[in-house]
Homo-oligomer: A and B are copies of this chain.
Amino acid sequence: MASAKMGSMSRSEPLRSRNAEQKATDVLPPPEQHARQYAAVRSAHETELIEDYVELIGDLLEHSGEARATDVAARMGVSQATVARMVRRLNELGYVSNEPYRSLFLTEEGRRMAAWSRERHAIVLQFLRALGVDDATARIDAEGVEHHVSEKTLELMQRFANERDRGT
């Protein structure tokens, strides 16, 4: 069932290699490269939730002028207690500045993160729709995908969406 044994091989041979490369999962990567892939996913997971909270707080601030813990809880679909603990953590990490019983705000650092998350999110969403995915599905998928695309991929997605939008 296994066939070729070609590690990475950059784009050069035009014809046969294309088809051969298709079944790329036929060969397992060397163990420690494999491990690095999973490590990357785990590491992405750690920041994922944080980014989601920061992004959401930023969105709320921008759209309604303030970000109350209640709203965050409602939109994240979690309890207020969970939000409270998370906010404390975001504060410790230097992303959120807040006073007890008051609206949440983002620090400089938090705003940077929010802006970047927001941009990334928008690109992925645009891209998915350009690909032909319906709005509702695109929104859900974007939420999950955005944290796992590298900048390289993101740039290609953006290019694709732009080309597609102006009808190339």
B-contacting residues of A (Cβ < 8 Å)? 1-2, 8-10, 18-19, 21-25, 27-29, 31-32, 34-41, 44-45, 52, 59-60, 62-63, 71, 74-78, 118, 121-122, 125-126, 128-129, 131-141, 143-145, 147-150, 152-153, 156-157, 160, 165
Chain B residues whose CB sits within 8 angstroms of the CB of A134 once the complex forms: 8, 10, 152
Query: Whole-angstrom distance between the alpha carbons of A132 and B10 in the complex?
Result: 11
Give bound CA distance, A140 to B42, whole Å. 11
Query: Looking at the complex, which one of B2, B24, B52, B62 makes contact with A63 (CB distance below 8 Å)?
Result: B2
- How far is A129 from B131 in the complex, measured between Cα atoms in Å? 15
Query: Would you call B37 and A139 a contact (CB within 8 A)?
Result: yes
A-B residue pairs, 8 tightest by C-beta: A144-B148, A35-B77, A34-B75, A8-B135, A31-B74, A37-B143, A41-B144, A145-B148
Task: Judge whether A38 and B2 touch: CB under 8 Å.
Answer: no
Q: Which of B25, B38, B40, B76 contacts A52 (CB 8 A)?
A: B38
Contact A160 B131 (CB under 8 A): yes
Contacts A118-B25, A140-B150, A141-B149 given; does A135 touch B9 at CB 8 Å: yes
- List 4 additional contacts besides A24-B122, A25-B59, A131-B160; criterion CB under 8 Å: A25-B122, A28-B59, A37-B139, A44-B144
CB of A39, distance to nearest CB on chain B (Å): 5
Which residues does chain B contribute within 8 Å of A9, judged by CB atoms?
135
Task: Give Cα A139 to B29, complex, Å.
Answer: 10
Contact call A131/B156, Cβ cutoff below 8 A: yes
